[in-house]
Amino acid sequence: MNTKRAKEPPVIIGIAGGTGSGKTTVAHKVRDVAPVRSVEIIHHDSYYHHKPELSFDDRAKINYDHPNAFDTALLVEHLRQLKAGNSVEAPIYDYATHSRVEETRLVESADVIFIEGILVLESKALRDLMDIRLYIGVDADERFIRRMQRDVKERGRSLDSVVSQYLNVVRPMHQQFVNPTKKFAHVIIPEGGHNSVAIDLIATKISNILRDR
């Protein structure tokens, strides 16, 4: 592990919200307007549990919208290392095979580290490491359309399988686990990346935190 230290601890920002809400878009928009030198974005779904002992069919049956699907303990340890100024080797997840690949992604400690995912506010251990906690609020119909387009175009899924998974897994898990976590957010952002006022306010908050440190 690289032990190079940053001058100051990074500002860690958690971004939660339903599938297709635009969490990564918000991270990119804030990154573009915040006056910082370095930014890293970590995706919670890169930390799905690695289950090579299971067959492909059995891995495909896993409920990936449930908190137990994530190796959150590993992510917590990685964030602690990054907060200490060290770098980490983040896993890379292959959605086509439902497993991690052998390669990893080097993540350096930075001025700002975004951690995004549907359930990043569900874990108290993760929340305790965050300086800013955001929840992206977008209409369910719009989120479903975005997910459908992404899964069909980028992940090779059939339309029928996307609809079935949404109705049987994604929507009930959102109602049970994802939506309730908005109570832990410092800020709920309607319209996601289209909310320029919220983006500017978050960028200003980041600047203030860095200045105070």
* Residue range 27-75, pLDDT digits in tens: 988 888 887 788 999 999 999 999 999 999 999 889 999 999 999 999 9
For residue 124, pLDDT beyond 80: yes
Identify whether the C-beta of residue 132 lies closer than 8 Å to the C-beta of residue 205: yes
**Number of domain units in the chain:** 1
Phi, psi of 27 (to 5 degrees): -60, -45
Write down the pLDDT at residue 7.
64
**CB neighbours of 141 closer than 8 A, spacing ≥ 6?**
none
* Residue range 106-120, pLDDT digits in tens: 999 999 999 999 999
Beta bridge mates, 39: 112
Query: 3-class DSSP state for residue 94?
Result: strand
**Angle of CA points 110, 154, 192, to nearest 5°:** 55
Decide if 189 is inside a domain. yes
Decide if 4 is inside a domain. no
Ramachandran sector of residue 135 (left: φ over 0; alpha: ψ -120 to 50; beta: rest): beta
CATH number at residue 31: 3.40.50.300
Decide if 6 is inside a domain. no
What is residue 48's DSSP assignment? B
- Distance separating alpha carbons of residues 187 and 202, to the nearest angstrom: 9
Identify whether the C-beta of residue 59 lies closer than 8 Å to the C-beta of residue 87: no
Decide if 102 is inside a domain. yes
Average pLDDT over residues 151-156: 77
Q: Which domain holds residue 115?
A: 11-212
Identify whether the C-beta of residue 142 lies closer than 8 Å to the C-beta of residue 150: no
Decide if 1 is inside a domain. no
Write down the pLDDT at residue 112.
93
Decide if 3 is inside a domain. no
pTM metric for this prediction: 0.86
Decide if 151 is inside a domain. yes
Decide if 87 is inside a domain. yes
For residue 166, pLDDT beyond 80: yes
